[in-house]
Amino acid sequence: MTELTIVQAVNLTLFEEMRRNKDILVLGEDIGRNGGVFRATEGLIDEFGMNRIIDTPLNESGIIGFAIGLGLYGLKPVAEIQFADFIWPAADQMVSELAKFRYRTGGEYSCPVVVRAPYGGGIKGSHYHSQSIEAFFVHNAGIKVVIPSNPYDTKGLLTSALREPDPVLFLEPKSIYRAFKQEVPEGDYTVPIGKAAIPREGTDVTIIAYGAMIPVCLEAANICQEEHNISCEIVDLRTLMPYDLEAIEKSVKKTGRVVVVYEAPKTLGYGAEISATIAEKFIEYLESPILRVAGMDTPFPFTLEMDYLPDPYKVTEAVIKSYKF
């Protein structure tokens, strides 16, 4: 076991999987000698060389298009988009091409591309370096969407993504890239895509979240327990598409109260889909309305960043409201 941050877990996983699978290569902006803007690819070029660690022009559409071609020819490309906010020039490639190959060929061809991108706020990056894009790509069928919340899951989920036969969008919560360390096994292990985790068990209120919101929710759960005697269970989705409906069902039936937390704008955010599904399938088990704690319906701000983002006190307020309904 070794203690790693999330970004170190990304780096270690790329090293281990590139040694295991000679068909894996990484491409993106400044990922070679520079090691990436967050240093997630640091050192890879020294071991694997310029044929497998490819510095690209500032052209997101080209990065994804090139990765699609490599994937169709049997390689395993890992395309890094420097910030998730920059992915939009590549959206047509991802939605119209990458997500559709298995379907349009009747299962004859897959396109096993992994797209990595840091997402979300919390680093004072303002509106071009802070957005949460997950709902758009969940909505467009054909791409699995994965978001870890800790170093252990980062390594296990990224390993699974790198062994997937189909496209995976692997979004990394950059605000907690180096926020804490966790013991991570040095050997081979995977965390299955499509399975949620329960980082905290409880009986009164279910909090559903993912990525950088998990530490926020854990702190809120502590406040609720210590100051209000409310027991919160936290469901860390880990995979947004396909998500673990069974884990959600089990927790909702246990507590009867649900708060969904995400940092994207509230309207039509990913949490709206989770809320709607719970209302459709499990409404008879609910003791109070489903509540959402999310970002605001505005462009991401700079000076008011922490007012925009969910925090433990906003989550606590929602939990109390749900519990006392």
The per-residue pLDDT for range 13-31, each reduced to its tens digit, is 999 999 999 999 999 999 9
For position 126, what pLDDT does the model report?
78
Coil, strand or helix at 23: coil
Q: β-strands 232-236, 197-200: how paired?
A: antiparallel
The per-residue pLDDT for range 161-190, each reduced to its tens digit, is 999 999 999 999 999 999 999 999 988 999
Q: β-strands 258-265, 205-209: how paired?
A: parallel
CA distance 86 to 158: 21
Residue 5 has pLDDT above 90, yes or no: yes
For position 92, what pLDDT does the model report?
96
For position 124, what pLDDT does the model report?
81
Q: Pick the catalytic residue: 127, 129, 139, 228?
A: 129
Percent of the chain with pLDDT over 70: 100
Average pLDDT over residues 91-119: 94
Structure tokens at 72: 């169709």
Q: Hunting for tokens 């399938």 — which residue is that? A: 281
Amino acid letter, 290 = I
Does this chain's domain 2-184 share its CATH topology with 197-323?
yes
The per-residue pLDDT for range 224-280, each reduced to its tens digit, is 999 999 999 999 999 999 999 999 999 999 999 999 999 999 999 999 999 999 999
Structure tokens at 249: 């069902």
Structure tokens at 240: 């947004």
Residue 122 has pLDDT above 90, yes or no: no
CA distance 199 to 79: 30
Average pLDDT over residues 46-75: 96
Residue 209 has pLDDT above 90, yes or no: yes
Q: Which residues of 174-199 are buried (b: 16+ CB within 10 A; e: fewer)?
A: bbbbeeeebebeeeeeebebbbbbeb
The Cα-based distances of 270 to 75, 152, 180, 206 in angstroms read 32, 24, 26, 17
DSSP one-letter string for 180-195: --EEE-SS-----TT-
Q: Which fold has domain 2-184?
A: Rossmann fold (3.40.50)
Amino acid letter, 309 = L
- Picking from 42, 34, 33, the residue whose alpha carbon sits closest to that of residue 5 is 42
- Picking from 316, 251, 313, the residue whose alpha carbon sits closest to that of residue 286 is 251
* Domain locations in the chain as residue ranges: 2-184, 197-323
The per-residue pLDDT for range 196-207, each reduced to its tens digit, is 999 999 999 999
The pTM of the full predicted model, rounded to 2 decimals, is 0.96
The Cα-based distances of 99 to 53, 90, 96 in angstroms read 24, 12, 6
For position 1, what pLDDT does the model report?
80
CA distance 117 to 213: 17
What does the chain come to in residues? 325
Q: Hunting for tokens 């990922």 — which residue is that? A: 31
For position 54, what pLDDT does the model report?
97
Residue 94 has pLDDT above 80, yes or no: yes
For position 254, what pLDDT does the model report?
98
Q: Is the dihedral of CA 103, 104, 109, 113 positive or negative?
A: negative
Residue 125 has pLDDT above 90, yes or no: no
Of 301 and 282, the structure prediction assigns the larger pLDDT to 282
CA distance 63 to 86: 12
For position 303, what pLDDT does the model report?
83
The CATH class given to the 197-323 domain equals alpha beta
Q: If phi over 0 gives left and psi between -120 and 50 gives alpha, with beta otherwise, what is residue 267?
A: beta
The per-residue pLDDT for range 62-93, each reduced to its tens digit, is 999 999 999 999 999 999 999 999 999 999 99
Residue 112 has pLDDT above 90, yes or no: yes
Residue 127 has pLDDT above 90, yes or no: no
Does the annotation count 129 as an active-site position?
yes
For position 130, what pLDDT does the model report?
85
Enumerate the β-bridge partners of residue 145. 169, 241
Q: Hunting for tokens 């039936």 — which residue is that? A: 253
DSSP one-letter string for 286-305: -SS--EEEEE-SSPPPSTTH
For position 298, what pLDDT does the model report?
92
Q: β-strands 144-146, 114-119: how paired?
A: unpaired
The Cα-based distances of 38 to 5, 45, 59, 177, 183 in angstroms read 12, 15, 19, 9, 21
